[in-house]
Chain A
Amino acid sequence: QKEVEQNSGPLSVPEGAIASLNCTYSDRVSQSFFWYRQYSGKSPELIMSIYSNGDKEDGRFTAQLNKASQYVSLLIRDSQPSDSATYLCAVSGQRGSNYQLIWGAGTKLIIKP
């Protein structure tokens, strides 16, 4: 079982609609959750961080965290073609006595004009 799972996609969403990206994780003690956006040929760029259960909104982006169900999601409202990218979910996890970010494989999002 992968530690951080994402649907690889591609997820195709019409322009102006809401894009919903999901991520599940296996480590119950994880406390830090991040969404990164990666354009083709570019580096991952932080979009949102969330640490507490519930919703966190930043412009068109909303991150949702449910620790009991061990999932975190990212909603993108009013999707634009410029949102087309791969979205990576990263979750804090323990390796021995150290904590690292565990990365999902990413979901490719395509916004169709």
Chain B
Amino acid sequence: DAGVIQSPRHEVTEMGQEVTLRCKPISGHDYLFWYRQTMMRGLELLIYFNNNVPIDDSGMPEDRFSAKMPNASFSTLKIQPSEPRDSAVYFCASSLRTGVRNQPQHFGDGTRLSIL
């Protein structure tokens, strides 16, 4: 079975450029999560979707960040304009239902983003 698929695996770009990260969740999973991981701050939840609808975007750091999920099999995380402090590894994860009794989340391989 295919896992969560993220692209690109690596992205190096200059400050001020637009960056788009992509994610395909596991088929049948109705929750999709975007995380950012850095040495200093660990794993941070940015936003998550249920049935393609954003549920909680309180972790999105600034208006420069936006995320969409146009259908059940695709999501994007966009940074515009990008800044050096956005450099991190960005993970997408998906799961079946969440709630009081959460189901485990399954992670993609991540996108290592470097903003010069």
| 0/1 interface trace, chain A 85-113, chain B, CB 8 Å (1 if under) | 00010101001101111010110000000
Given contacts A43-B109, A95-B58, A100-B48, contact A32 B42 (CB under 8 A): no
Partner of A88, one of B43, B100, B101: B43
Do the beta carbons of A105 and B42 come within 8 Å of each other? yes
Do the beta carbons of A32 and B102 come within 8 Å of each other? yes
Secondary structure dominating the interface of A: strand
Do the beta carbons of A106 and B91 come within 8 Å of each other? no
CB neighbours of A96 from chain B (8 A): 56
What's the count of A-B pairs with C-beta under 8 Å?
A: 53
Secondary structure dominating the interface of B: loop
CB neighbours of B100 from chain A (8 A): 29, 31-32, 92, 99
Given contacts A44-B43, A106-B42, contact A101 B91 (CB under 8 A): no
For A92, the closest partner residue in chain B by CB is: B102
Task: Name the segment of A10-18, A45-53, A66-74, A75-83 touching the other chain.
Answer: A45-53
Q: Does B107 contact A (CB under 8 A)?
A: yes
Q: Does A25 contact B (CB under 8 A)?
A: no
CB neighbours of B55 from chain A (8 A): 98
Q: Does B25 contact A (CB under 8 A)?
A: no
Residues of B that sit less than 8 Å from A by CB: 42-43, 45, 48, 55-56, 58, 91, 98-110
Seed contacts A34-B102, A44-B91; 20 additional CB < 8 Å A-B pairs: A31-B101, A31-B102, A32-B100, A34-B104, A34-B105, A42-B109, A43-B91, A43-B109, A43-B110, A44-B43, A46-B105, A46-B106, A90-B105, A92-B98, A92-B101, A92-B102, A100-B45, A100-B48, A103-B43, A106-B42
